[in-house]
Amino acid sequence: MSVLIPPSLIMIVYGGWQDVSVARLFAGGVVPGILLTIFFVITVTILV
pLDDT in tens, 6-43: 567 888 899 999 999 988 988 888 888 888 889 999 99
Is position 22 within any domain?
yes
Task: Give the C-alpha separation, 17 to 39, whole Å.
Answer: 31
**pLDDT recorded at residue 26:** 85
Backbone angles phi, psi at 21, to 5 degrees: -65, 120
**What is the phi/psi pair of residue 3, to 5°?**
-70, -30
Domain-embedded: residue 4: no
1 lies in some domain: no
- pTM: predicted TM-score of the whole model, two decimal places: 0.62
Residues 12-30 as b/e (b if ≥16 CB within 10 A, e otherwise) read: eeebeeeeeeeeebbeebe
2 falls within a domain? no
Domain that holds residue 31: 9-47
14 contact partners, CB below 8 Å, separation of at least 6: 20, 25
Q: What total of structural domains would you count in the chain?
A: 1
pLDDT at residue 3, rounded to an integer? 59
pLDDT of residue 4: 60
pLDDT value, residue 29: 83
